[in-house]
Structure 1
Amino acid sequence: MSIVNDIRTAFSRRDNALNQLLLINVLVFAALIVLRAILYVSGASGIYNVVMRQFAMPSDLPSLLRHPWTILTYAFTHEGFLHIIFNLLNLYWFGMLIREYLGNRKLVSIYILGALVGAVFFLLSFNLLPVFQARLGVPIVGASAAVTAIIVAAATLLPDYTFNLIFVGPVKIKYIAAVVVLVSIAGINGGNPGGELAHIGGALLGFVFIRQLQAGRDLGRPVQAVGDFVANLVSGRPRMSVTHRSRPAEAPAAKKGGLARPEQEEIDLILDKISRSGYESLSKDEKQKLFKASQK
């Protein structure tokens, strides 16, 4: 089928991280819908809850210890069309900015780390704060923590970048991110406190990730290392090691981590200029340097 070929092609490309994240969420959502319908018509609806326990992350630690993989799978699992549509639209809009300015690897790193930090906020709050003890055991699903991390990361990197919103007009993304965080804080005492706490954890990760990146430290290196390891296993390609007997003199290396080429200080200046005056204020040479820095 052409759909299967399209999916295979999307996952075979190494420069397609945003579409791959979107596709994973959609495929899991579609598979669960089909499974739920099949189980319903076959009179075995109860099995669906058993399946969901393999994806949703529980808030009580004993259950989590039995299903440790859910600390990540929950961030690719949705129930309800509005839930997934809202998350994927935001992932697409803000993910495009992260991919354009920082590259695919940074986008995936922010998504994964946002999901993990959101999970930690959710777990700590439900297990340590008495106000949530009555709800202990309630699971969490959805990419909201990861998507919130990407929203805040984009707003931290490009605070004055403007989106044209329907019925509103041009709005700087720093204000969009601020509204997202405030809504999450306001929702803690509502019907979905776990989800809102996870959002706040993701938002914090997005902010810290960009600040550390601008300081020359890439918090996503462990995620990228694991991704490379898994990719090598799947492709069957061994890691190659190259040694040189002698090396010619070369310019001092950029600081490890963060944005490594061109020089870190030069990239920081370009990002500061974007924050002050917008992407359109960059010269052609500056745009090329920023593009080269994102190709990692």
Structure 2
Amino acid sequence: MMHIEEKKGTPLSLGEGNNMMTKILLVNITVFILLFFTEIIYGIEGNKPERFINDVLSQVLLPSTIHGLLQHPWTIVTSMFTHNSFWMITSNMIWLACFGTMLQQHAGPQRVLPLYLLSGLVGAICYILGMQLIPSFRELQPAATMTGASASIMALAIGATVVAPGYRLLPNLPIPFWIITLIFLVVNVVTHVITSHDLTIVPALIGGGLTGFFYMSQWKKGHDLGAGFNKITYKITHMFHPKSNLHVVK
């Protein structure tokens, strides 16, 4: 069994080298800024908001029907990096920075991106299945879409809690990390169910949470489910790097 040491008093940081969380945050924020300015340009040109939705958002948000997914299969990936409101991007990025950095510090940056992507895919599949199988959801299909990193953030939250449930974010504050996760779960439910009156995201959140639990539980046992993905991405990103001619002298 892999030994996991819960570090105490280590501050959260987004400025270290090889920080996968910084890269994921930048991608999400960049996509939001591009969409924001694109919407402004559409408005300046006199287009109605529906035009922007049909021309742009429909190309990146996850549709609620299987037919829509077959027409836009790339949305199963783009939707997990797309946020179409300031409140959504702000709240999601705060939680993403918190849980993602926690997981990165206790399990390494190699765990963050594979879990983010895998849980986003599982969340998207659970969302589409829920829209097909739950009768009250089927009525909402014509206008329903899924957007945002909520499923991935749920996975990172559960995954970080599995790895270090008793970790203290602040050494002088006697609150274990699992309490922070519990607060996050309550806030998420209130935001989606009570404030937004939207239950359709619940299957995606459940799928993301279960993925995070299974992924990091396996990692603690010594099984890295993202090892293959990391090897492939390493080869791709280093494909054109010059090979070193240095030899190790023993």
**1:230 and 1:73, CA in 2 relative to 1: closer, same or farther beyond 3 A?**
farther
Look up the match of 1:79.
84
Look up the match of 2:234.
228
- The aligned amino acid for 1:140 is M
**1:226 and 1:94, CA in 2 relative to 1: closer, same or farther beyond 3 A?**
same
Following superposition, the deviation at residue 223 of structure 1 comes to 3.0
Look up the match of 1:54.
59
- The aligned amino acid for 1:41 is I
User: Does residue 1:39 correspond to 2:42, yes or no?
Assistant: yes
Q: Are the aligned partners of 2:110 and 2:230 in contact in 1 as well (CA < 8 Å)?
A: yes
Look up the match of 1:274.
none
Aligned residue among 217, 221, 228 for 2:223: 217
* Separation of aligned partners in 2, 1:180 and 1:120: 23
**1:163 and 1:132, CA in 2 relative to 1: closer, same or farther beyond 3 A?**
same
Bigger Rg, which one: 1
* Separation of aligned partners in 2, 1:229 and 1:67: 28
Q: Are the aligned partners of 1:149 and 1:203 in contact in 2 as well (CA < 8 Å)?
A: yes
Look up the match of 2:145.
139
Look up the match of 2:125.
120
Look up the match of 2:112.
107
Q: Are the aligned partners of 2:107 and 2:163 in contact in 1 as well (CA < 8 Å)?
A: no
Q: Are the aligned partners of 2:126 and 2:203 in contact in 1 as well (CA < 8 Å)?
A: yes
Aligned residue among 174, 179, 186 for 2:178: 174
Following superposition, the deviation at residue 182 of structure 1 comes to 5.1
String of CA shifts for 1:102-161, please: whole Å, max 9, x gaps: 221111111111211111111111112222111124111101111111111111110011
Q: Are the aligned partners of 1:184 and 1:196 in contact in 2 as well (CA < 8 Å)?
A: no
Following superposition, the deviation at residue 53 of structure 1 comes to 1.2
Residue correspondences, number: 223
Following superposition, the deviation at residue 98 of structure 1 comes to 1.4
Look up the match of 1:202.
208
Look up the match of 1:264.
none
Identity %: 29
Alignment RMSD (CA, Å): 2.6
* Separation of aligned partners in 2, 1:39 and 1:161: 47
Following superposition, the deviation at residue 221 of structure 1 comes to 2.7
TM-score (norm 1): 0.68
Q: How does 1:224-263 map to 2 (within 5 A)?
A: 224-232=230-238, 235-237=239-241
Aligned residue among 166, 171, 189 for 1:160: 166
**1:188 and 1:82, CA in 2 relative to 1: closer, same or farther beyond 3 A?**
closer
Following superposition, the deviation at residue 70 of structure 1 comes to 0.7
Following superposition, the deviation at residue 236 of structure 1 comes to 2.9
Partner secondary structure for residue 68 of structure 2 = helix
Following superposition, the deviation at residue 29 of structure 1 comes to 0.3
Q: Are the aligned partners of 1:75 and 1:143 in contact in 2 as well (CA < 8 Å)?
A: yes
* Separation of aligned partners in 2, 1:118 and 1:238: 39
Q: Are the aligned partners of 2:61 and 2:145 in contact in 1 as well (CA < 8 Å)?
A: yes
Identify which range, 45-54 or 24-33, moves more after superposition.
45-54
Look up the match of 1:129.
134
TM-score (norm 2): 0.80
Q: Are the aligned partners of 1:58 and 1:64 in contact in 2 as well (CA < 8 Å)?
A: yes
**1:214 and 1:18, CA in 2 relative to 1: closer, same or farther beyond 3 A?**
same
In structure 1, the gaps of 5 or more residues are 1-9, 241-296
**1:171 and 1:14, CA in 2 relative to 1: closer, same or farther beyond 3 A?**
closer
